[in-house]
Structure 1
């Protein structure tokens, strides 16, 4: 199995080192194409219209001055153009990727682009408590259960047009209650807000608090309250097929040209 690794925290991030350990248990054909610098929150953005540099840091490890989506394209169509990867793993992200936050996640975008390129795409994140500082994170759960979780996903049958989002809980490996297949949390409204900086006239886009209520069946609750590893299968096909079928692809149209009547 040929495996391509990427992330959004950057090629030197400790989470990528954890992901490399996981991948090397699964295969000896492991490659890395990751951003040269932090690309958190970039979503599925591509670097259009600008030159980007691909730097070979060591054997089978490349840094690209672009986004996670750029990295997966570079890996699939350039670095591994002779034989595309069977599996694209993105992460292990520093901090959880839950609910509607998936829409801006560069980690999720790496897995999504992997699936779009024809591989199995899996995004992995290690939960942390942001209230006690951005450097306080323990990777134990991801290290202990990463291989088992990826293998469980690889054994799923019939997952067509799908990529996967995985979160490891904030607990010891022994406290993990299992692996749960769950939906992602749909928040009542976007969790993002504009927050004023201490510098006059400057602001941050941030998440000040999690919108409530939370669905007890969804990833946010099950990760934090039940200490389960959450796996969310996500579709590449984003069309509302129920609505499309209900209207048979047609909306009311009277054929009247603009300015008439």
Structure 2
């Protein structure tokens, strides 16, 4: 990693979201070569969606700040393979998301996808999220992200080994002096998907929503450590998703019987 790495920033809350301004502040403590390529509108929950078969447009907002009318993954591809093509970013930071991205939610998180696509493009990918109480959606404090964001990211940069792993950071919803520490933890595997049908007041329509957290929760995983213990959680995630144990177990056991076609 270079002394002053080139950093590309994206998010899923949109280019005008307050969290991306926090992430800019974090990135500029690490490097003076910082670029922003973020969605024009809110893309929360889109996961690793690509806008295929539709034209996208780049809108320059300021020097080194661009908006794209697409997903976080679209933005990273646009930044890495077009805007920064001659010198792609060393690090892709995604966030700071408005609300925690923990447990199985990493599978649908646009924030996590921004970091994942960064890693797939050959950069060090890091997703950052600020925990909040969703019962009061108008209240979110960025205190912990601002206070500790740069030091957590810098430690990951120093310790990372290649780009096959990307990282998911969550900051607790407390004041900076109430943070208990930094913990490297697995993400919570729920007993079932947290998403379910929720009827709308409008006839014939409904929402897909999280109404309650599936139980039980693992004490050592990110949900409990972040929400109950005020820890900054760091979860390393692999690009290689193959279950190698199952691959080895199944190897040579699946039988093939060739089907002959009646050509008459």
Do they fold alike, i.e. is TM over 0.5? yes
Partner-residue secondary structure (3-state), 1:8? coil
Tell me: CA distance 1:141–1:251, structure 2 relative to 1, closer, same or farther (3 Å). same
Distance 1:79 1:209, change over 3 A: same
2:130 aligned with 1:97, yes or no?
no
1:40-65 deviation digits (Å, cap 9, x = unpaired) = 00000000000010011100000000
Deviations along 1:186-231, one digit per CA (max 9) or x if unpaired, are: 0000000010111111111110000000000100000011100000
- Partners of 2:119 and 2:163 within 8 A in 1: no
2:181 aligns with 178
1:144 aligns with 2:147: yes
Runs of 4+ in 1 over 4 A off after TM superposition: none
Task: Write the distance in 2 (CA, Å) between the matches of 1:9 and 1:215.
Answer: 29
* 1:103-142 alignment runs, 5 A limit: 103-132=107-136, 134-142=137-145
Residue number in structure 1 paired with 2:72: 68
Query: In the alignment, what sits opposite 2:199?
Result: 196
Pairing partner for 1:2 from 6, 12, 20: 6
TM-score by length of 2: 0.95
Mind listing any 5+ residue stretches in structure 1 that lack a counterpart?
none
| 3-state SS of paired residue (2:88) | coil
CA contact (8 A) 2:114 2:127 kept: yes
**Residues 157 and 17 of structure 1: is their aligned pair in 2 closer, same or farther, counting only changes over 3 Å?**
closer
The partner residue of 1:31 within 3, 28, 35 is: 35
Residues 169 and 235 of structure 2 are in contact (CA less than 8 Å); yes or no, is this contact kept in structure 1? yes
TM-score, structure 1 normalization: 0.96
1:21 aligns with 2:28: no
In the alignment, the residues of structure 2 paired with residue 148 and residue 24 of structure 1 have an alpha-carbon distance, to the nearest angstrom, of: 12
CA drift of 1:246 comes to: 2.2
CA RMSD after TM alignment: 1.3
Q: CA deviation at 1:69?
A: 0.2
By how many angstroms is 1:254 displaced?
Answer: 4.4
**Cα distance change on mapping 1:160 and 1:116 into 2, 3 Å:** closer
Name stretches of at least 5 consecutive residues in structure 2 with no aligned partner.
none
